[in-house]
Structures are given as C-alpha cells and as structure tokens.
Amino acid sequence: MKRLLIVVVLAAGALVAYNYATTGSITLVPSGGVSVEDREVSELRQRFERARTQFAQAHRAAAIGGVDTTGDVEATLADVGRIERELAALKKRLTSPPSIREAEDLSRAVAEFSRQTR
C-alpha cells in the first residue's frame, strides 16, 4: 500500500511538472494553455529582450576592444523598430485584458529603449 501511494504521488508530481513546462501554470489537469494573443505578445517580448541583449553586447564589445559594432547596433535598432510596428498592429487586434496590459507594458519598455538609444 505504501508503494502504491508513493507511485501515485510521483505520478502526480510528474504530471504537474509536465503541465507547468507545457502551459506555464502549475495545475494537475491542463486548462488549455496560453491563448494565441498571449503567445504573440510573449513572442514579441522575447524578441525585444534578445534585441536589447544584443545591443548591450555590441556596446560592451565597442567599449572593451574598440571593435566597430555600428552594423550590429543598426541591425538591432532596425529589429526594435520592426517589433514596435508589429506591436502597434497587434495591439489593435487584442481583446483579452491581460494581453492588452502585457502589450501596453511591452510598448512602454520599447518606447523607453528607443528614447534611450537616440
């Protein structure tokens, strides 16, 4: 009986871990996952974070080694511009309040980054 209880607890733990990995929420039974809108905003946020990291790396390389990184910086700024345009178009289509809030937060972060880099 004790072994059965241990197996059940381990199986439930594995199910919770799997659901967390696939849906991002800690539940025993999956609830359908993340909405398409949330996923689109999340993808734009990830792209923005990558661009911000690339921008910082280009500046560090220029400061430390005196390497010409203008091409990297320009490409990153162009990518941020594309993200900004895609985000503006996405915000017009969003309907769920959490997605709208997340898009507004991302929009503010992108605007702040653009302001700092000009």
The residue type found at 95 is: T
Residue 43 shares a structural domain with residue 96: yes
Checking if the pLDDT of 107 tops 90, the result is: yes
Residue 41 shares a structural domain with residue 76: yes
Cβ atoms of residues 88 and 78 within 8 Å: no
Residue 51 shares a structural domain with residue 101: yes
> Domain range spanning residue 11?
1-33
| DSSP code at position 29 | S
The residue type found at 9 is: V
Residue 7 shares a structural domain with residue 42: no
Residue 58 shares a structural domain with residue 98: yes
Q: Which of 3-7, 68-72, 84-88, 97-101 has the lowest mean pLDDT?
A: 68-72
**Number of structural domains in the chain:** 2
Residue 25 shares a structural domain with residue 38: no
* Angstrom distance (rounded) from CA 4 to CA 7: 5
Q: Which tens digits make up the pLDDT trace of 7-28?
A: 888 888 888 888 777 766 677 6
Q: Which tens digits make up the pLDDT trace of 20-74?
A: 777 666 776 766 556 788 889 999 999 999 999 998 888 787 777 776 767 878 8
